[in-house]
Amino acid sequence: MKLIETRLGGRPDRAGAAFRKWFPGTEETIEADAVIIAFGFLPSPPDWFVQQQIALHANGRVRVSAAPQQRFQTTNPKVFRRGDMVRGSDLVVTAVFEGREAAQGILRYLGLRASPAH
């Protein structure tokens, strides 16, 4: 596995993300029998989204409604979604908050009284 040291720098891209600069001379090679890539920042929607009529944006993120009464409802009305799969990579606190908001949307969809957000 070849490694190189990076630092944030340069002008941010259109999404606002800063570029990582490579630092020549910091390369290192580590011998390994197998390498498991265990992190990622891009959506990987499963095949069953298509079967369930859950539409995606071109970048692979899930489309959700912005209408106040159907917030976070996908194009399959029985499926609500929020978090990184909708917003893109963010923070745990954002995912928790939006999970609660999506739950409020589910309660409204079911005709149950939505409790106030905490």
Ligand X SMILES: Cc1cc2nc3c(=O)[nH]c(=O)nc-3n(C[C@H](O)[C@H](O)[C@H](O)COP(=O)(O)OP(=O)(O)OC[C@H]3O[C@@H](n4cnc5c(N)ncnc54)[C@H](O)[C@@H]3O)c2cc1C
Question: Residues in the site for ligand X, rule: CB under 6 A?
Answer: 39-41, 46, 83-85, 90-92, 95
| Burial of residue 80, with CB atoms counted within 10 A of its CB: 0-12 exposed, 13-18 middle, 19 or more buried | buried
Smallest gap from residue 62 Cβ to ligand X (A): 10
Whose CB is nearest to ligand X? 83
- Judged by beta carbon, residue 15 or residue 31, the one nearer ligand X is 15
Smallest gap from residue 55 Cβ to ligand X (A): 17
Report d(CA 33, CA 94) in Å as an integer: 37
Smallest gap from residue 45 Cβ to ligand X (A): 9
Report d(CA 118, CA 98) in Å as an integer: 11
Contact 69/110 with Cβ under 8 angstroms? no
Token reading at 48:
């069953």
Report d(CA 19, CA 8) in Å as an integer: 6
Smallest gap from residue 79 Cβ to ligand X (A): 12
- Judged by beta carbon, residue 25 or residue 36, the one nearer ligand X is 36
- Judged by beta carbon, residue 34 or residue 92, the one nearer ligand X is 92
